[in-house]
Amino acid sequence: MHDARILLDLGEDAVRSLAKRGYTLDLTTIEDLFTRRNSSIKSADELRAESKRVAAEVGKTAKAGGDATELKERARALKDQVRELEEEQEKVEGELRETLLSIPNFPAEDVPDGLSDEFNVEIRKHGTPPSFSFDPRDHVDLGEAMGIFDFSRAAKLSGSRFSVARGAGAVLERALATFFLNLHTGRHGYQEISVPNLVNRTTMTGTGQLPKFEEDLFRTGVADRELFLIPTAEVPLTNLHADEILPTEDLPYAYTAWTPCFRSEAGSYGRDTRGILRLHQFSKVELVRVVRPEESRAELEKMLGHAEACLKELGLAYRVVALAAGDLGFAATFTYDIEVWLPSQNTYREISSCSDCGTFQARRAAIRTKSKDGQRGLAATLNGSGLPIGRTLAALLEQNQQQDGSVVIPEVLVPFTGFRRVAADGTPES
């Protein structure tokens, strides 16, 4: 969320910055609401002072035995005027807040220009995409042939865009999640957190999912409470420190969680709907860091390395790209995507986004800092996938498939699976 004063002070610089990501900033509306709010505050304060003076006059007149009727009428009229101005102030403040909440974060100065993913810039590649002496199959054909995916029964249970994993498939999902969590907590220094999968509107607003992306969320309720199913563990992990003042010297905080994620994927029908690449429900290991603002970019590079380590350990070929301004997420000021190689599509596909959100989410969620010398400020927040289970499993199956329909399991997963290979009929083999 932005500060109206800062937007107005920046003026056309703010307009140009947000235009890079395809957003048209309406400074006129912001200035009008900001001015009306300030005017109502000033007028209400003046009337309160006048009301206080008149009240004193009422008391003085009554004490002297005089007639205070007109003064009392004046006092009542002033109270009514103050109440009207307070209602106006509340209304205008609500409109201003809703306007500010809908404005995305500024892109960093070094974000590549461009309004779509066509302008994303490749940073590096790791590993060599496997070559095959046969036509590689996609993860759907492989998984269904082995009997480790069951999409027809998932559809029976929940409709389209859901999956069922069974046998070795379910074991591999659990193994990947455990491996990622062990890697991030044991080697990378994250604290594992178990968080609610249902959160309130304030929590969703803090990280930027609301109000703009409400149609992408699943909403439910318990009794009289409105709750949302989380689209990513970024939401509860980041908001752990909402409305808190954090000691600056204790930063950074680093958290990880393995949760289900729920997304309606509004507007995405027809894109990646086959298999497990774009589901309404999937699981993911998430990374969140709360840091000093001046260290956020260095922390982003660190987080990117943590996500990359997962793919390196699994021996999967991938590349890293910097997102163009128009491809940035709503809360991000700079984002790296990691794209894993999918042989069936003969291309790299996004598997992780690591984003520096600067102080954008911290301002919305009131995540503040205070140093030992009393200096106050806002924290910076970062988030990244480390990694999604489904997309990783799809890449693992496709990159490690054999001509006979079997799949070789990466050595680092064997302690978690108990097998090194899944036969063409789905039988685990040690």
Whether the link from the prior residue into 130 is cis, omega within 30° of 0, is: no
Binding residue numbers:
232-234, 263-265, 286, 350-353, 383, 385
The amino acid occupying position 111 is V
| Cβ atoms within 10 Å of 303's Cβ, excluding its own | 27
The amino acid occupying position 369 is T
Q: Is 353 a catalytic residue?
A: yes
CA distances from 32 to 8, 39, 96, 304 (A): 11, 10, 9, 42
Burial 47-66 (b: 16+ CB within 10 A, else e): bbeebeebbebbeebeeeee
User: Cα–Cα distance between 165 and 168 in angstroms, integer?
Assistant: 8
Contact indicator for 382, 291 with CB cutoff of 8 Å: yes
Quote the tokens at residue 361.
């989410």
Q: Is 278 a catalytic residue?
A: yes
Which of the residues 263, 297, 363, 368 is marked catalytic?
A: 263
Whether the link from the prior residue into 415 is cis, omega within 30° of 0, is: no
Q: Is 263 a catalytic residue?
A: yes
Collapse the DSSP code of 207 into the 3-class scheme (helix H, G, I; strand E, B; otherwise coil) and give the result.
helix
Contact indicator for 290, 206 with CB cutoff of 8 Å: no
CA distances from 419 to 34, 352, 388, 399, 412 (A): 63, 27, 22, 18, 11
Contact indicator for 287, 385 with CB cutoff of 8 Å: yes
Which of the residues 173, 299, 350, 398 is marked catalytic?
A: 350
Which of the residues 17, 51, 353, 355 is marked catalytic?
A: 353
Q: Is 76 a catalytic residue?
A: no
Binding residue numbers for L-serine:
232-234, 263, 286, 383, 385
Angle subtended at Cα 63 by Cα 60 and Cα 68, rounded to the nearest 5 degrees = 65
Q: Is 83 a catalytic residue?
A: no
Which of the residues 201, 278, 292, 421 is marked catalytic?
A: 278
Please state the length of the chain: 430
Task: Specify the pairing of strand 318-322 against strand 121-126.
Answer: antiparallel
- Sort 213 into a burial class: Cβ within 10 Å, 0-12 / 13-18 / 19+: middle
Catalytic positions are 263, 278, 350, 353, 391
